[in-house]
A and B are shown apart, each in its own frame.
Chain A
Amino acid sequence: MIELRGVTKSFGTKKAVDHLDLSVRAGELFAFLGPNGAGKTTTIKMVCGLLRPTAGSVKVGGFPASSAEARQLIAYVPDQPYLYEKLTGREFLRFVVEMYGLDPRASTRRINELIETFEMGDYVDDLSENYSHGMKQRVVFASALVHDPKVLIVDEPLVGLDPRSARIVKDLFVSQARSGVAVLMSTHLLSIAEELADTIGIVDHGRMLANGTLAELRERVQIHGPLEELFLKLTGGDRPLVDGPQLVESRDAIG
């Protein structure tokens, strides 16, 4: 459903993405991991058609990512959700329905279902300027799903969500994937990748370092501990310095 072949994206002399190959099938939940500045957001923006690759091709459902067909298939949830401050949550959902040219009656039912799913009934008719970050994020998730996308792209999905909302969102990812949606999720939270992802891709300096199921990655790197160990090994070698010799020494002294 999402196909990136030999994709490079340069900003001036800097290569943000370097010969990246990536594919996410229908029904697959793909977790895209990498340190800050690894090229995750740039890759996601290319899949959404906001940036064009310098080289290579990005296709969604077989269509070029910047085409109208691809945008009709995609739903994108950025890490900083955008809502019109002077619209209520419900009005925003209506706008999305109208933009995608959906049947008004069926859409009203769908909107009500999503309001219930995301537990937004208490505030969905208030102006969104009064929402907290978590409330906004829930409305944005609902707006992403209201048109039944075939591809769901999410950048840092759990930022600002309380534990209950986070659970709802995680369950939703799984149910979307099981219903045939291709889910591409970029995150720093290794635990949710470990918990939810069918496939994990680890990227650094714009290059795909490893790509496969958690078991395949463990086998390849020969680390059978938590994903964190595997991630650190792939992206930087050892543990970060801050947890280095001094702390270890002081811990030893206490012990």
Chain B
Amino acid sequence: MTGPSNPLAPRISTARQVGEAFRNLRWRLVNNTFRSSMAGSRLRLVMIAICSAIFWAGLFFLFFGGFQFLKSFVRNMSDDFIDYIFSMFFLSLLLMLFFSAGIILYTGLFQSKESAYLLTTPAPPDQIFAYKFFEAIAYSSWAFLLLGSPLMVAYGIVEDATWKFYAIFPLFFLAFVLIPGSLGGIAAILVASFLPRRPKTVLSTGIVLLILIAVFFGVRLWRTPGDLLTSAWLDGLLSKLEFSRHPLWPSRWMSSGLVASVKGDWATGLFYLGVVLAHAGLAYLIAAVIARDLYRVGYERVQGGRSSKRPRGWYEIDAAFHRVFFFIPRPIRLLILKDLRTFRRDPAQWSQFLIFFGLLAFYFINIRRLSYDTEHASWRNLISFLNLSVTALILSTFTSRFIFPLLSLEGRNFWVLGLLPLERASILWGKFAFSSGISLVATEVLVVLSDLMLRMVPAMILLHVGMVAILCFGLSGISVGLGARLPNLKEDDPSKIAAGFGGTLNLLVSLVFIAAIVTSLALPCHLYYFGQDNPDYSSQAITESQFHFWLSVAIGVSLVVGILGTILPLRIGIKSFEKIEF
């Protein structure tokens, strides 16, 4: 009873109607999001605009200086060198965009409530894929545009490019992002269809492989023989980057096309643009065909293939935790343990933590390869404070993203905690202890590693260890306290809680706190070491006795700021949390 003979045969929505419905939907969503952002969280929008502008300008000047340096010091081979740099840049982006688009598409297509809803409508699978694909491309490539546009503008200015170059490079970019995006989409659908129970295994294997490949090539590059920036060294370096210029890599097409376009060689430039566009179209077409045939199958397998495997207990670790921290009241200990279990069972948390701090550790380990340890004392002092600041900044993003939303998420289940024989303040102290504990372990190790590599004196290492402790307690206090003062009990997505007004304010306060602590201690140290290395400028520096005095003052000030930064937000948070009604 199917086909035209079936009296119930409905009029099927045409592809054009469905496409128009999706276009209107996207337009309404963008329009409403913009309007509600303008009406609601202007502070956040202004913050984002200012930070993006500063970031963009910083990158532009960095790239501008870099291209000028190349043009004046490696004149005879600057084009070759830039070709290699672009090839590497776009190859790295190819891999990163592949992973990010793949992850976003997997979540959007197979795990979201929206996809479950859309699959019950007349929308064909390839059109649902197209709708989610362009959303994923926008999410995954905005950072690429923010990074790539100052690079291209700086390159164009240094090379005296005509306006046509500035008009054509965005086309190169748009065509390029479709290639890794489509490949990511294909990978997401294939993983869902053929390995529906193992998406996390596939992802973690992919990330580990990527890190291993990056480390392998990183180590090879560091080991390039010869003195830095000599022609022998450059030759050696370029020969090791040769793999990135394989003619079948899209990164090579981008690099060759952009280098030709900047010089006004439009025949070559447009040829490569055509190559990138053609491959982008082909990649998207393959992805759409795979989506048409396999998206529903994959969805069904992911929904039906959920593993009933219980998470590994690691109960011996929990028992050890109870023994080591016997002095903490048991109810608080249990709360900390609950957060620790959530942390280790949520790959989003520990993987970001591991990747960021792992990359920092990799950089610190290679400090001696950069010969920073043989520089003057003032230079090493400066580097050590910069390293400490970067560590603190990464920690602040971690506390803003994961610690700030904890209370908001807890609030939804507050009736569970509310029935426990616990004071509400204990819940906050538990969160604070959890956040400080994890932060201290990760950051102290990194800062000590950085100082040892820089051959800093023991007194300075001790000072940095103390500073990091103040920063860890302060950032944890701010995130827990503000998280309790400005909870978002309506939202159950932690990333959206972190991106809201409270999360943005938390990040802002954290940045001010870091700046206050680092500046107060870095200033006397820098003035002292600068005077030691540059006796001619001693009038602008401080003597040893002045240094001891000002350092003592700075330690006192940072302790006061640290205690205030920890206690004040926590008190505000506790006060608000005790009054809050759920």
Contact = CB atoms under 8 A, between A and B. Distances in A.
Interface of A: 1, 9, 11-12, 14, 45, 48-52, 61-64, 66, 68-69, 71-74, 76, 78, 80, 82, 84, 86-88, 91, 94-96, 98-101, 127, 150
23 contacts: A1-B8, A12-B308, A45-B303, A52-B300, A61-B8, A61-B10, A62-B8, A64-B2, A66-B296, A68-B124, A69-B2, A73-B10, A74-B120, A82-B113, A82-B114, A84-B114, A86-B32, A87-B25, A88-B32, A94-B24, A99-B21, A101-B11, A127-B36
Contact of B122 (A11, A71, A78, A88): A71
B25 A95 contact: yes
Interface stretch (B12-20, B281-289, B316-324, B364-372): B12-20
B52 to A, nearest CB: 22
B32 to A, nearest CB: 4
- Among all A-B residue pairs, the 10 with the closest Cβ atoms: A62-B1, A98-B21, A101-B17, A101-B13, A72-B10, A61-B8, A99-B21, A82-B117, A86-B32, A82-B113
Interface of B: 1-2, 6, 8-14, 17-18, 20-21, 24-25, 28-29, 32-33, 36, 113-114, 116-117, 119-124, 296, 299-300, 303-306, 308
A207 to B, nearest CB: 19
Contacts of B18: 99, 101
Contact of B28 (A62, A68, A87): A87
Given A68-B124, A71-B120, A84-B25, A50 B6 contact: no
Given A11-B305, A61-B8, A62-B1, A80 B113 contact: yes
Contacts of A80: 113
A206 to B, nearest CB: 14
A86 B36 contact: yes
Contacts of B123: 99
A45 B304 CA distance: 11
Contacts of A50: 116, 119-120, 299-300, 303
Given A69-B6, A127-B36, 7 more contacts: A11-B304, A45-B303, A49-B120, A61-B10, A82-B114, A87-B28, A95-B25
Nearest to B296: A66
A127 B2 contact: no
A74 B8 CA distance: 12
A49 B13 contact: no
Contact of A100 (B8, B114, B116, B122): B122
Nearest to A153: B120
A9 B122 contact: no
Contact of A69 (B9, B17, B24): B9
B134 to A, nearest CB: 16
Contacts of B114: 82, 84
Contacts of B306: 11
A14 B307 CA distance: 11
Contact of A99 (B8, B113, B121, B300): B121
A126 to B, nearest CB: 11
Contacts of A63: 2, 6, 8
A12 B123 CA distance: 29
Contacts of A62: 1-2, 6, 8
Contacts of B299: 50
Given A86-B29, A99-B21, A68 B119 contact: no
Contacts of B33: 86
Nearest to A1: B8
B475 to A, nearest CB: 30
A9 B29 contact: no
B398 to A, nearest CB: 27
A82 B116 contact: yes
A54 to B, nearest CB: 9
Contacts of A88: 32
A99 B305 CA distance: 30
A98 B25 CA distance: 10
Contacts of A52: 300
Contacts of B300: 50-52
B116 A9 contact: no
Given A80-B113, A84-B29, A95-B25, A101 B14 contact: yes
Contacts of A99: 13, 17-18, 21, 121-123
> Could you say which of B1, B6, B32, B299 has the most chain A C-beta atoms within 10 Å of its C-beta?
B32
Given A50-B303, A98-B21, A101-B11, A127 B32 contact: yes
A182 B561 CA distance: 69
Nearest to B18: A99
B6 A61 contact: yes
Given A50-B116, A69-B12, A91-B28, A9 B6 contact: no
Nearest to A91: B28
A102 to B, nearest CB: 9
Contacts of A9: 304
> Could you say which of B11, B21, B24, B113 has the most chain A C-beta atoms within 10 Å of its C-beta?
B21
> Could you say which of B10, B300, B305 has the most chain A C-beta atoms within 10 Å of its C-beta?
B10
Contacts of A11: 304-306, 308
A45 to B, nearest CB: 7
Contacts of B304: 9, 11, 51
A61 to B, nearest CB: 4
Contacts of B32: 86-88, 91, 127
Contacts of B29: 84, 86-87
Nearest to A95: B25
Contact of B119 (A49, A61, A73, A101): A49
B17 A76 contact: no
A108 B287 CA distance: 36
A162 B29 CA distance: 29
Nearest to A54: B304
Contacts of B25: 84, 87, 95
A107 B336 CA distance: 55
Nearest to A46: B300
Contacts of B21: 95, 98-99
Nearest to A86: B32
A11 B28 CA distance: 39
Contacts of B8: 1, 61-63, 73, 150
B303 A51 contact: yes
Nearest to A12: B308
B119 A72 contact: no
Given A51-B303, A127-B32, A71 B116 contact: no
A98 B20 contact: yes
B537 to A, nearest CB: 58
A52 B305 CA distance: 12
A238 to B, nearest CB: 29
A100 B21 CA distance: 9
Nearest to B34: A86
A187 B18 CA distance: 32
A91 B24 CA distance: 10
A121 to B, nearest CB: 20
Given A50-B120, A63-B6, A87-B28, A68 B12 contact: yes
A1 B20 CA distance: 30
B142 to A, nearest CB: 18
A52 B302 CA distance: 12
